[in-house]
Structure 1
Amino acid sequence: MEIKNVTVFGSGVLGAQIAFQTAFHGYTVTLFDIREDLLEDAKIKFEQFKLLYQQDINADAADLDAAVSRISFTTDLSLSVKDADLTIEAIPESIEIKKDFYNRLGAVAPAKTIFCTNSSTLLPSQFATETGRPERFLALHFANYLWKNNVAEIMGHAGTDPEIFKEIVQFAKTIGMVTVPIYKEQPGYVMNSLLVPWLMAGLDLYRNGVADAQSIDKTWMKTMGADLGPMAMGDLVGMSTAYNVTQSYYQGTGEEVWKERMDFLKANFIDKNKFGISTGEGFYKYPNPAYKNEDFLK
């Protein structure tokens, strides 16, 4: 099947990026979210992406305008998938939310449509049944700033059709991704199997009073030559995602340390509306966080 029409569910940090990158590479894209104001926020993000694409990958302004023209917006689930060949879901990292969503999506999507989830930590098999088409369901996971950190991880489950798996690997290549096929279900794929322990190590140092956020990040940035430390990355990823990840790991493992992390994030960030960059405060205050100061590493 030739993929032409792609629907992206969720206009948050990664959903907006996935929609823009897919449209930039010539596909017709529909972006769905549950509220109009969220879609309006995505339109603002797209204007920011234009500047970043020019700056980071020397993209042509006319091509960027054309990409935006290929994106439509809707809060109507049925309408969003009426012509969809492929859907990519980037909604909150909650098994209950995803199960409910796929139950509704499976009832309205055409039989031809392939379903992909961008879930960071959940396994496709955990909600494959709810899709109503488990053989046409798999994970397609992207990195943040995907136009330059252009890695896509493709992970099926035991019931995924191998031909569908190959088709999504090929699709990911057509939108400029370096593809990483995952041959066995793994929570966190390759990327987050490496990233989550790093983020949690930073969080543990912070919540246990070992060091403050700036010291933790300075140590990592200076010794590893990195642009960001784990605390700044936490703000970028967002506290709601971090919270959902700790909740998911706690539910999956039952280990008390995940509950402690989850409770700490809720009490100190979620309940105080400190969601990171999106709300102007997390470990740092925005739009001018300390780690961007020229003398931060001095």
Structure 2
Amino acid sequence: MAELQNLTVIGSGVLGSQIAFQAAYFGKTVTVYDISDEIVAGLPAKWQKLSEFYARDMAATPEQLEATTARITGTTDVTAALANADIVIEAVPENLELKRKVWAQIGAAAPSSTIFCTNSSTLLPSDIAQSTGHPERFLALHFANEVWRNNTGEVMGHAGTDPAAVQAVLGFAEQIGMVPIHVEKEQPGYILNTLLVPLLGAATHLWVNDVASVEDIDRTWRTATGSPLGPFQILDVVGMETLYQINLNTGTDESRRVAERIKTEYIDKGYKGRDTGRGFYTYE
């Protein structure tokens, strides 16, 4: 397959914006699609914030960062966003029906050679692939939060994915500074979240059942394991919206209680995680 130079990112939330910036930093031409003019108008502020992180953590120069933002275009026109796409990465909320609806639109509008990737954290490619109309070109490319630091790119196809598409996406991940990880068989949560989700689920279990405070749960994990972050500090990076959607869709009584508490105590008050300055903790 030809080099995947033109990237379209669908959704400019925490991870969508990071993926776009990371790809542009490594020389890709990036179009970011989102649903409202207000969201698109706010993208330059996200690029400025990410520029600060790249200057701090990647020793990026002002010239590199200026070139990075120049490679990114934002739009609310999905047809225009997909017109020249070599590869699409979808980063919309973890809701299966929403993702199927979005992928039906993408599949109808994208060029015939475009490779389709979901950044879903928990859903299987085979759950979504048929919605695209082109399942042979559909697979998952999963990023960890703070992609410039935690730079794994987990690539996972489904039984009907063209092996050439898998190889192309593994190459793309490496080109944008990720460590490409080939997940050879469909696995909910890939490798990273298969390891991480039980920890975070255990932490929210302790919290929603009032066994211990957020601070004491985190303090226990950090002290006993030497980890730099406790589970709730990790959840603040993940973001409350993602935590809410995952628990809402899990279907157990406990997950429902976690979702309800997250919504009423955090999301409804605008406390959506570290990216907004407050989640379980407050950040400057």
TM-score past 0.5 threshold: yes
Task: State whether residues 121 and 248 of structure 1, in contact with CA within 8 Å, keep that contact through their aligned partners in structure 2.
Answer: no
Structure 2 equivalent of residue 184 of structure 1: 185
The 8 Å contact of residues 135 and 160 in structure 1, kept in 2 or not, is answered as yes
Q: Matched residues in 2 for 1:285 and 1:48: separation?
A: 17
Cα distance, 1:267 vs structure 2: 4.0
The residue that corresponds to 1:275 in the other structure is 272
Q: What is the identity, as a one-letter code, of the residue corresponding to 2:265? A: N
Q: d(CA) in 1 for partners of 2:145 and 2:52?
A: 16
> Secondary structure of the residue that 2:188 maps to in structure 1?
coil
What is the match of residue 266 of structure 1? 263
What residue ranges of structure 2 are gaps of 5+ in the alignment? none
Partner of 2:16: 15
Residue 281 of structure 1 deviates from its aligned partner by: 3.4
Alignment partners' CA distance in 1, 2:211 and 2:269: 22
SS at 1:154 equivalent: strand
Deviation at 1:279, TM superposition (A): 4.6
Query: SS of 1:127's equivalent?
Result: helix
Within a 5 Å distance, the mapping from 1:190-269 to structure 2 comes to 190-250=191-251, 255-269=252-266
> In the alignment, is the contact (CA less than 8 A) between 2:43 and 2:74 conserved in 1?
no
Pair 1:274–1:51, CA change in 2 (3 A): closer
Distance 1:279 1:233 in 2: 14
Contact 1:243–1:265 at 8 Å: present in 2 too?
yes
8 Å CA contact 1:202, 1:231 repeated in 2: yes
What's the CA shift for 1:232? 1.7
CA distance in 2, matches of 1:10, 1:67: 19
Q: Mean alpha-carbon deviation: is it higher for 71-80 or for 205-214? A: 205-214
Give the letter aligned to residue 180 of structure 1: I
Distance 2:68 2:273 in 1: 28
Show the counterpart of 2:102.
101
- Once the two structures are TM-superposed, the CA of residue 274 in structure 1 deviates from its matched residue by 3.2
Q: How many residues align?
A: 283
Partner of 1:24: 25
Partner of 1:294: none
For 2:278, give the aligned amino acid.
E
Q: For the residues of structure 2 that align with 1:257 and 1:187, how far apart are their CA atoms?
A: 20
User: Could you tell which deviates more after superposition, 179-188 or 47-56?
Assistant: 47-56
Aligned to 2:133: 132
Q: Take 1:246 and 1:121, find their aligned partners in 2: how far apart are those partners?
A: 11
Shift of residue 70, structure 1, vs aligned partner: 0.6
1:39-84 Cα shifts (integer Å, max 9, x gaps): 2333212112112112112222211111110111100000001011
Q: TM-score, normalised by structure 2?
A: 0.94
Partner of 2:47: 46
Could you tell me whether the CA contact under 8 Å between 1:30 and 1:72 is conserved in 2? Answer: yes
Q: State the Cα deviation string for residues 209-237 of structure 1 (Å, max 9, x = none).
A: 11111111122222323332111221221
| Structure 1 portions without partners, runs of 5+ | 288-298
Please tell me the root mean square deviation across aligned C-alpha atoms, in Å.
1.6
**Cα offset for 1:170?**
0.7
| TM-score scaled by length of structure 1 | 0.90
